[in-house]
Amino acid sequence: MIRVGVVGASGLAGGELIRLVSQHPELELTFLGGSSSVGRRPSELHPGLRLDLGLTVEPVTTDLSGRCDAVFLATPAPVSAELAERLADQVPCVLDLSGAFRIRTPELHERWYPKVRRRTELADRFVYGVPELVGEELVGAPLISLPGCYATAITLGLAPLVLGLGLDIRTVVVDGKSGSSGGGLQLRTPDLHPLRSGAIAPYAPTGHRHAAEVGDFFGRGKPGTIGSLSMSAYGVSHVRGLMASSYVFTDQEVDARQLQRAYLRFYKGRPFVRVRRHTETLIPVPDPQAVLGSNFCDVTALHDPEGGRVVVLAALDNLVKGAAGQAVQALNLRFSLPEETGLAMQPVMPA
């Protein structure tokens, strides 16, 4: 059994990590870390959970040497930056779910995370963990930075075009729509149910740091390029799941059949990315309701010849494939387990 710790046990991603780790046949939860929740049991923090783990939350400052083989950090970025520095010496593998180590380019990091101080040396050692795209890099990696929920969807949506077909994209316009769980459980008036229910709240209309993260990632790769990428993000009236719509403009010729083939080929054998035909089911997909509770990311690329563009849709559960599930998937690869170990649950739908 691989012994794992979860720091940030009281948050939504922390709760989801506890849920997934407890259902995983090769993992044993040996540490829960937090600050305001020290001393609490998981079921006190997360009303859905009923687990006899014999664990209560301990201070984040606890020394984990010899107690954990891997630690998940589901903490705010400034906290993660600090903890990673310290835990890197205590445990064989640190998996950070925050934004602290996602953007590699220092200037870009400072532009979007001005309050997150980190050592560049440390940052350079992190593998950016989109498991479908980084190949063997995760095996044995000591430090893994998990992409943002939107970044995961956008990146998985665009990769077959940029990395598969090698397109040179002039412009991508991203429109993101997400449920309220993406904002966590901080006490903010606009997140109260009466104001968030029924809303289409343009909370980041002219830019989002996940877009910067995507640009930074593709800027490191080949063969294709992305000229410019802009993004707007909206909170809509459900709880779990997001949709990233990428409107792609390129001067190269593409057609519907070529797109479908490229996507199928690119994700062949990858268990968690489902290339879907837009009309294959009774509801149009991708749609986040069709991945709820699962680690799937559904993607489709549609040709819009009249609009002179490719429409890429990607939907995922922001707490699973966009956070805790992807982190477990990365850990599986890190420890050379089959990728889908403990993650084979089908979506809960309708919900």
CA–CA gap between residue 325 and residue 152 (Å, rounded)? 12
Closest CA to 110 of 77, 142, 151, 70: 77
Which residue type occupies 245? Answer: S
Smallest distance, its own copies to C-beta of residue 102, A = 18
Query: Between residues 66 and 308, which has the closer beta carbon with respect to its own copies?
Result: 308
Q: Which two tokens stand for residue 128?
A: 């950016």
Smallest separation (angstroms) from its own copies to the CB of 57: 14
CB of 171 to its own copies, least distance (A): 8
Cβ closer to its own copies: 87 or 342? Answer: 342
232: nearest Cα among 253, 269, 207: 207
Instruction: Please confirm, yes or no, whether 93 is among the known catalytic residues.
Output: no
Nearest to 272 by CA among 291, 253, 286, 245: 291
Which amino acid does the sequence have at 107?
A: E
**CB closer to its own copies, 54 vs 308:** 308
| 8 A C-beta contact, residue 125 and residue 143 | yes
Whose Cβ is closer to its own copies: residue 145's or residue 180's? 180
Output the furthest CA–CA distance in the chain (Å, rounded): 61
Min dist CB 85 to its own copies, Å, is 31
Asked if 325 and 340 count as a contact pair (C-beta separation under 8 A), the reply is: no
| Catalytic residue positions, numbered | 149
